[in-house]
Amino acid sequence: MKKRIVIFGDSNTWGYDAKSGGRFNEEIRWPMVAAKLLGESYRVYEEGLCGRTTCLDDPFNEGLSGLSYILPCLQSHSPLDMLVIMLGTNDCKERFSLTGANIALGMRRLVMKALAADVWRDKPNILIIAPGPILKECELSDVGKNMGKCSDKSYELAKEYKLVAEELNVGFLDAAPYVEMNDIDFMHLTEDSHKVLAKKVSEVIKNTLDNKEVKI
């Protein structure tokens, strides 16, 4: 059986294209590019949703709490060999009034729920990715009307997520060195960033799983 990976995230995992207002195709979206790089011995399940948070119910949009959806998501794709989570951008919205440390607590809850889930083929393998920070210009863009003051706390996530990863003994990657935000809404990845992030994440997945025997 192929090694089975769930990539769980928000609009930057779904593949939002700020230029068109639509979605990048499969040749661009980083989970699908990573799948291609990983090759035929892997099966990648792309689980991105625009607006998704770690654990918060949005008052204006239904079904966006990652904590509420993570278990059925993992169960539907089980048995699993690895879970990759890149969330936190939407938790930065001003209306949630959270600090970077607060958002990390949401990620902690999400990871703990996944660790305890009866979905793993062998043992849990989880990678937390701190998303690239939201640029300050976002707050003055059209998207900024929804996001509010969001940039400063987004720069805190990598430090806080690393602490969570160390506590829970899971993997950690800071996406910031590998990605750039577009110059339209300043919070979604450029096309080139999808490709660079895919390469890095596929390397981490291979380093984590390639030496592990897959049980059928």
Please state, for a pLDDT cut of 90, what percent of the chain lies above it: 96
Q: What is the pLDDT of residue 51?
A: 98
Q: What is the pLDDT of residue 214?
A: 42
Interval 57-68: pLDDT, tens? 999 999 999 999
Token reading at 24: 């990048």
How would you classify residue 203: left for phi > 0, otherwise alpha for psi between -120 and 50, otherwise beta?
Answer: alpha
Look up residue 65 and give its DSSP letter.
B
Interval 25-42: pLDDT, tens? 999 999 999 999 999 999
- pLDDT above 90 for 215: no
Q: What is the pLDDT of residue 212?
A: 53
- pLDDT above 60 for 200: yes
The whole-model pTM stands at 0.95
Per-chain mean pLDDT for the chain: 96
Domain residue limits, the chain:
3-209
- pLDDT above 90 for 85: yes
Please state, for a pLDDT cut of 70, what percent of the chain lies above it: 97
Asked if 48 contacts 31 with a C-beta cutoff of 8 angstroms, the reply is yes
- The architecture that CATH gives domain 3-209 is 3-Layer(aba) Sandwich (3.40)
Gyration radius from the chain CA atoms: 16
Tell me the CA distances in angstroms from 29 to 38, 90, 201, one per residue in order. Answer: 14, 19, 13
- pLDDT above 90 for 211: no
CA distance 191 to 5: 23
| Mean pLDDT in residue range 64-75 | 98
Interval 124-173: pLDDT, tens? 999 999 999 999 999 999 999 999 999 999 999 999 999 999 999 999 99
33 CB-contact burial (10 Å; exposed 0-12 / middle 13-18 / buried 19+): buried
Strands (E), 63-166: 82-86, 126-130
- pLDDT above 90 for 203: yes
| Mean pLDDT in residue range 192-204 | 98
Q: What is the pLDDT of residue 1?
A: 85
